[in-house]
A and B are shown apart, each in its own frame.
Chain A
Amino acid sequence: MSQDRLIEIETGILAKNDQYAQANRTRLAARGILAVNLVSSPGSGKTTLLCKTIESLGDQPLGVIEGDQQTQNDADRIRATGARAVQVNTGKGCHLDGHMVGHAMDHLDLAPGSLLFIENVGNLVCPAAFDLGEDGKVAILSVTEGEDKPLKYPDMFTAARLAILNKIDLAPHCDVDLDLYEANLRRVNPGIEILRVSARTGEGMTEWIDWLRTHLADKSSPEAAE
């Protein structure tokens, strides 16, 4: 076979997505907006955590992109807090992608120095592979899910910068070992940061809000914009 009949590409299969994600990242950086991609299984308490987070952040400008296969329910819950939210229904899709998030950002038109929360589709597999242009993934893991969840779905916890161990108020009722959760998280991602939180009682919320404010301050500082 002659050389000219072989086209060398060496292109990532998700190259198109990565281009959209990079465009999002550039837009976010230009406005000093911190974007966090919230990932978890369905039912980990992402939306409740987000509602409480928005309340705790007071007058901090922010926006929310909600990803679900169907319904406006989550966006409605977010809007009830007074925050701006765009719902993306992925239909048959199992994850948000860079293109969808770019469109949703057009609708939100966030002010410089805002926080952008992207609540991904509840799924511990596919969203790990799709860059959205975010600053980091935050994995939310509720204590009722089992200590071995990070071992069963390692990719997501490896991709995450921070893990929130949520619903810790339930821990005494479900015979769970919080230290084992942490050990398993560090086994699949030795560099992961971990916060123990109960969105319901407010325990650990201060640390989470501090985490957000610290990273937002880094992102929106004049040096970061250069």
Chain B
Amino acid sequence: MHEMSLCEGIRRVIEDQARKHDVTRIRRVRVEIGRFAGVETEALHFAFDVVMRGSVAEGAELVTLELPGRAMCYDCMKEVEIMDRLDPCPTCGGGKLMPQGGDEMRIKDLEVA
């Protein structure tokens, strides 16, 4: 979707943290992205390199960790894990699933150079 604005969000967080911890250079940034977050990892990497220019994280490596997609099945009322947003319930085959997780977009940690 808007990987460029996501990277601008990442940059703001990194700059706040770098100031707080008195850090001048970041070597690696690990982010957790839910399966249903709608984020294209490749586009995120591309935007990351561009957006981090001139910041403490210029040239840093971006590592993306995928989090599973979870949903509540309104038929069997169980929380299940699904691979695709439109998959049926793996337990009962029902088609009424409400996502309960998998839309996460979090910065996990920063490795200082």
What is the CB-to-nearest-CB distance from B59 to chain A, in angstroms, rounded to a whole number?
17
Q: Does B52 contact A (CB under 8 A)?
A: no
Report A's interface with B, CB cutoff 8 A.
Answer: 1, 5-17, 93-95, 97, 125-126, 128-129, 151, 154-155, 158, 186-191
Report B's interface with A, CB cutoff 8 A.
Answer: 1-2, 5-6, 9-10, 12-13, 17, 21, 23, 31, 36-38, 74, 85-86, 95-99, 103-112
Q: Are A12 and B106 in contact (CB under 8 A)?
A: yes
| CB < 8 Å A-B pair total | 92
Q: Which residues of B contact A129 (CB under 8 A)?
A: 1-2, 37-38, 103, 105
Name B9's closest neighbour in chain A (CB-CB).
Answer: A13
Q: Are A151 and B112 in contact (CB under 8 A)?
A: no
Q: Are A187 and B96 in contact (CB under 8 A)?
A: yes
Specify which of A5, A14, A17, A190 is in contact with B97 (CB 8 Å cutoff).
A190
Q: Which residues of B contact A155 (CB under 8 A)?
A: 36, 38, 85, 103
Q: Are A15 and B1 in contact (CB under 8 A)?
A: no
Q: Are B2 and A16 in contact (CB under 8 A)?
A: no
What is the CB-to-nearest-CB distance from B102 to chain A, in angstroms, rounded to a whole number?
11
CA distance A190 to B107 in the complex (A): 31
CA distance A9 to B23 in the complex (A): 14
Q: Which residues of A contact B106 (CB under 8 A)?
A: 10-13
Name A189's closest neighbour in chain B (CB-CB).
Answer: B98
Q: Which residues of B contact A93 (CB under 8 A)?
A: 2, 5
Specify which of A13, A158, A190 is in contact with B6 (CB 8 Å cutoff).
A13
